[in-house]
Amino acid sequence: MKPTPTTWKVVRRIVFRSIGVIVGLTLLWFGGHVVEWVTGIRILPWNPYAFCGDSESGPLPDTVRVGLYEEFPNPWRLEKLNQIDFPVTLAIAARSQEEFLQQSIAIRQQYPQVREVYYWPQLAYEEGYYLGTWSDAAAIQRVAQDIDELPVLWDLEMPLNKSYISAQSWPHNRQFLDQWFSERTEKVYIWRTHTGMGLNPLFLRLLAMHYDPLDYPQVSLHLDLYTSGAGLSEQQMKNILHCGVDRYQERFIPSLGVLNDGEAAADIFVPPETLQRDLRLVREAGITEVWFFGVNGLNDAYLSAIKDTLPLETLPARAGYSTEQTILAK
């Protein structure tokens, strides 16, 4: 039986309406993510962590590694490391590898608590400061080419000053970083924010603001879980941590803070009791490594929360010649 004109009209109406629904939902998805990307406020109705983190937890690790970020590694800030009686990994910001190597050697000689130091490259302010794909492409490539056989903390954020956002650099950075991360033989620890979008969000991948560790063998994810006040709800934090462990295992590293260094209003920092609750959830999720921002905020209350909640390693004997000294001697 031949379709009648009326039948074709019905079919066309259904097709056009379906296309309209798809376009509308796509615009809603895209617009909702743009709002969240710009403001940090989630308006989309679904939870990206709702359907993960359900697998059975394995045995808890015997110890949990601790790391600390220090964006301004001045002597009066670093001296807070003297309060620590367990081994830590330290990431220090520097404008060049040579500057980093000199600082790293001095730190390791002065502070036996620091067993490893990561290079945290920073750009000039007018280049974007952070190493995100919207910063200056020539500066990104300069930093990447400057890095030798060192573990690196890659701060994948938008430029600190939005007037320095470089749309022209974005396609070059997207392609360059994809290749550079793929070819790396040393560890890359990517620090990423916009946690509410999920662990592997399509929107951030399209913007080249997320590189999934499952696609890059040397990449680990430092996920921004900075909170203030009461923080995320316990269930929210638990879901994120369990989802992270399920997907990335030891390459999922929660980034907690900000520790109160007394240099701003107290309500922007994480209270010790909130930090201790989050550390309990970190431990229960079976996470092997956790990081804190930053060194200058270390105090007795925070250190008690860490030591009372996590099984920590003991300080080893002093090591000999370091990797940093070897590179600097070349």
pLDDT for position 287: 96
User: 123: which 2 tokens?
Assistant: 């750009």
Amino acid at 4: T
Q: d(Cα 283, Cα 277) in Å, to the nearest integer?
A: 10
Asked if 290 contacts 254 with a C-beta cutoff of 8 angstroms, the reply is yes
pLDDT for position 207: 92
Q: d(Cα 86, Cα 254) in Å, to the nearest integer?
A: 19
Instruction: Note the pTM of the prediction, 2 decimals.
Output: 0.89
User: 66: which 2 tokens?
Assistant: 């601790």
pLDDT for position 162: 81
For the chain, the structural domain boundaries read: 65-328
pLDDT for position 321: 44
pLDDT for position 315: 84
What is the maximum span of the chain, computed from C-alpha positions, in angstroms? 89
Amino acid at 105: I
Q: d(Cα 267, Cα 109) in Å, to the nearest integer?
A: 36
DSSP letter for each residue of 240-300: HHHHHHHHHGGGEEEEEE----SSS-GGGSPPHHHHHHHHHHHHHTT-SEEEEE-GGG--H
Compute how many other C-beta atoms are within 10 angstroms of the C-beta atom of residue 126. Answer: 12
Phi and psi, residue 223, nearest 5°: -95, 130
Q: d(Cα 178, Cα 156) in Å, to the nearest integer?
A: 13
Asked if 320 contacts 118 with a C-beta cutoff of 8 angstroms, the reply is no
Amino acid at 21: V
> Shortest CA distance to 64 belongs to which of 288, 249, 252?
288
DSSP letter for each residue of 223-241: EE----TT-S-HHHHHHHH
pLDDT for position 318: 56
Q: d(Cα 202, Cα 80) in Å, to the nearest integer?
A: 40
Burial zone of 239 (CB within 10 Å; 0-12 exposed, 13-18 middle, 19+ buried): buried
Residue with tokens 């934090």: 237
Tell me 102's DSSP state: H
Burial zone of 15 (CB within 10 Å; 0-12 exposed, 13-18 middle, 19+ buried): exposed
pLDDT for position 72: 93
Residue with tokens 């940093």: 324
Note down pLDDT in tens along the chain; length 330 residues: 556 667 767 777 777 777 777 777 778 877 888 888 888 888 888 899 988 887 777 789 999 999 999 999 999 999 999 999 999 999 999 999 999 999 999 999 999 999 999 999 999 999 999 999 999 999 999 999 988 788 999 999 999 888 788 889 999 999 999 999 999 999 999 999 999 999 999 999 999 999 999 999 999 999 999 999 999 999 999 999 999 999 999 999 999 999 998 888 888 999 999 999 999 999 999 999 999 998 999 999 999 999 999 999 988 765 444 555 555 545
Q: d(Cα 32, Cα 203) in Å, to the nearest integer?
A: 10
Q: d(Cα 139, Cα 123) in Å, to the nearest integer?
A: 7
pLDDT for position 142: 94
Q: d(Cα 185, Cα 146) in Å, to the nearest integer?
A: 15
CATH for the 65-328 domain, from 3.20.20.80, 1.10.10.10, 3.40.1550.20, 3.40.50.620 = 3.20.20.80
Reply yes or no: is the peptide bond before residue 290 cis, omega within 30 of 0: no
